């Protein structure tokens, strides 16, 4: 049990302290999160809050068809959670969204690895590897 609690604390520490932080806990976004995801979520949160939907999404480049974005954004629980807060808070919420995502991923990875092996150390190391793998960190 102590190792499990330690693993959860490591996950929380990595989620909170590994990103470089500036401007009162505003995460520095790299790549797609800065260029695409944040403006995309901002647009869809504005649409949810205002109730005015459009099939053209002006938040990406010169704009794009928003039809596919409806499936991506409206099926994401984070879009609906972000809609509960003022739009200015969206960049600050990403740190908490990532924490939730890491904890849920770690929980299910641990449960899955518990079915595959009995060694507690292997399950904990495997949980950390799956939780912080390159794909999970990027999306």
Q: What is the pLDDT of residues 64-102, one digit of tens each?
A: 777 777 777 788 888 899 999 998 888 778 778 877 888
pLDDT of residue 115: 92
**pLDDT score of 50 more than 60:** yes
Counted residue by residue, the chain has a size of 139
pTM of the full structure: 0.65
pLDDT of residue 135: 60
Helix/strand/coil percentages in the chain, nearest 5: 70, 5, 25
d(CA 76, CA 58): 20
């Amino acid at each position: 049990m102590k190792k499990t609690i330690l693993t959860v604390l490591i996950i929380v520490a990595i989620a909170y302290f590994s990103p470089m932080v500036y401007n009162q806990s505003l995460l520095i976004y790299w790549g797609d999160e800065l260029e695409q995801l944040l403006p995309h979520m901002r647009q869809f949160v504005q649409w949810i809050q205002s109730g005015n939907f459009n099939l053209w999404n002006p938040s990406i480049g010169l704009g794009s068809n928003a039809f596919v974005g409806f499936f991506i954004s409206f099926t994401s629980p984070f879009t609906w959670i972000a809609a509960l807060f003022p739009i200015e808070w969206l960049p600050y919420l990403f740190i908490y969204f990532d924490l939730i995502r890491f904890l849920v991923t770690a929980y299910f990875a641990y449960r899955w690895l518990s079915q595959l092996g009995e060694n507690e150390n292997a399950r904990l190391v495997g949980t950390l590897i799956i939780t912080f793998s390159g794909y999970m960190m990027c999306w």
